[in-house]
Structure 1
Amino acid sequence: MTVTSWTDVINYVRRRYEVLEETDSWLRFRLDTEGSRTQQVAVHHVPDVDGRAWLEISSAVGRVDAIDPGRLLELAGSSLVGGAAVVDGVALLKHAVPLEDLSVQEEFERPLTMLVASADSFEHELTATDHF
């Protein structure tokens, strides 16, 4: 059994991506996507009601007042990972994974890159921009 810590995740992200902002409980960083597009993503370290640690991965699609929310829900319904949410007026794709016994490559990196690719594709379709 491998024990993965929040520090392990932070170090993994720092080695691979451009970190834009960091606190004790979350990271915001940028990934390159297709063409010359990029996509910002945030990873939050959050406990559940039993005190077990989770990672919440989220990536913005657009400002909710500038997109068709119904179309976002249709697009999110076709995505293998992540669900649509709105936080502070921003439409997001979000996905959560338990930190305990986490395989960083399979249970963090794969959902991360899949979620980011979907968020970037949805942003492109819904806003025709690369704001996030």
Structure 2
Amino acid sequence: MNAPDGLAPTLPGFDVASVRAQFPVLAQRVHDDRRLAYLDNAATTQKPEAVLQALDHYYRHDNSNVHRGVHALAARATKGYEDARARIARFAGADVAGTVFTRGTTEAINLVAYSYLLPRLEAGDEILVT
């Protein structure tokens, strides 16, 4: 395994430079002209160029409430949302109907805890989250 620029070893065939290049924010130089390394992903993840372009297109052309309207923008937003759900379900090998979007990890953990686990827990049970 190689270690570019004195960083931790990488997986064979994993091109760190090409992955970094997909994230415009990582092109910044900080603290005495050092490359930016962003590690606060639990709070906010940085977006690659493809996501930024998709968001820009959505806000410029389709911005509307999903599942809440019958007009053209709502129809396009809802279709995009449901198409994304189906694509993610296929990627994960999951059922589309059982694929649920949440705002973040905490909400997802709470959803599972309250909807699935709570009815099954008994006194003395413990929940471990890594």
Q: TM class by shorter-chain length?
A: under 0.3
* Structure possessing the higher radius of gyration over alpha carbons: 2
Which structure is higher in strand share? 1
RCO greater where, 1 or 2, for CA within 8 Å and sep 6 or more? 1
Which structure is higher in helix share? 2
TM-score (norm: length of structure 1): 0.25
